Amino acid sequence: MKDNTLSKLGGTCAILQAVSYIVVVITFFPLPAEQRQITGMYTNPGAFLESFAKNPTLLTVLFWAEAIGLLLGIAAVLAISESVRSTNEGWVRWTSTLAIIGLAFWAMDDLRFLALTPSRAAAYMQGSAAVQAALTVPGNLDALDPQHWLRLGTLGIWVLVVNLLALRGDIWPKPLAYIGIGAAITNWLVLLADVFPILSVLTIIAAVAGIFLVPIWLIWLGLRLRKAG
C-alpha cells in the first residue's frame, strides 16, 4: 500500500508556508524606510540599527514568519518533487536538493539576524563613536548570502524544473504550472536586480508579481497534495 504521509505533510506545509509568506508581505510594507531593505545588504547600517532599536516589533515578526515558513518549505519541496519525480528523476533530485540547501541557508540567515540584531542595536545606541563605527563596518550586518544566489537562485531553478516537468507529464493543471513558471521568473528577476543594481526596477516588478504568484502556487499545490494524500 502506498504511503501518502509525505503528500499530506508536504501539502499542509505548503499551505502554511504560503500563510507565512503573506505575513511577511503584510509586515514588510509598514516598516520604517530604514528597515525596508529587499536585498541582503544594508546601505545605511547606522540608520538601520537606530531604527531597529526604537521599533523592532514588525521586523522581528517578519523574520520569524519567514524563518518558520522556510523550514516548512523543506517538507513542501520534498512532497512537490515526489509528485513529478517519475518524469525525470535526475533533474528532480538535483534541483530539489539545491532548493532544500537554499531554504535551509535562508532560514539560518534569518535566525542569525534574530539572534544578533537586538544586541547589536542596543550596543549601537549605547556605545561610543568607536563602537558605532565598529558595528557599522561595511558588510558587518549583511546577510551571509547578500546577492541571494543560494536563496532565490536555487529555488528559482527548482520551481522552474518541477513546473516544466509537470507540464510535460500533464501532472498538474496547465494554469498551475504556468503560475509556477511565473513565480520562478520573479525569483530570477529579483536576483538579477540584486547583482546588477541598474536593474533595480526589476525588483519592484518581481516583488509585486511574487506577492500574488507565490502564495497562489503554494496553496493550490498544497490542496492538491493533501487531496492526493
Band (pLDDT 50/70/90 cuts) for residue 150 is: confident
pLDDT confidence of 21, banded at 50, 70, 90?
very high
Tell me: pLDDT of 29 over 70. Answer: yes
What is the CA 50 to chain-centroid distance, rounded? 26
User: Tens digits of per-residue pLDDT, 77-94?
Assistant: 999 999 999 999 999 999
Mean pLDDT lowest among 57-61, 101-105, 153-157, 183-187: 183-187
Summary mean pLDDT of the chain: 88
pTM of the full predicted structure? 0.89
Provide the residue ranges of all domains of the chain, joining segments of one domain with +: 5-228
Beta-strand ranges (E) seen in the chain are: none
Residue 1 has pLDDT above 50, yes or no: no
Q: In the chain, pLDDT over 90 holds for what percent of residues?
A: 62
Provide mean pLDDT across the span 163-190. Answer: 92
Predicted local confidence at residue 40, as pLDDT: 54
Give yes or no for residue 141 having a pLDDT over 80.
no
The pLDDT value recorded for residue 50 is 92
DSSP string, the chain: ----HHHHHHHHHHHHHHHHHHHHHHHHTTS-GGG---SS--S-HHHHHHHHHH--HHHHHHHHHHHHHHHHHHHHHHHHHHHHGGG-HHHHHHHHHHHHHHHHHHHHHHHHHHHHHHHHHHHHHHS-HHHHHHHTSTTSSS-SSTT-IIIIIHHHHHHHHHHHHHHHTT-S-HHHHHHHHHHHHHHHHHHHHHH-GGGHHHHHHHHHHHHHHHHHHHHHHHHHHHHH-
3-state SS class at 72: helix
Q: Is the pLDDT of residue 19 over 60?
A: yes
149-168 mean pLDDT = 93
- pLDDT tens digits, 41-61: 567 888 899 999 999 999 999
Residue 113 clears pLDDT 70, i.e. is over it: yes
Q: Give the burial class of 142: count Cβ atoms within 10 A of its Cβ; 0-12 exposed, 13-18 middle, 19 or more buried.
A: middle
Q: 118 φ, ψ to 5°?
A: -55, -45
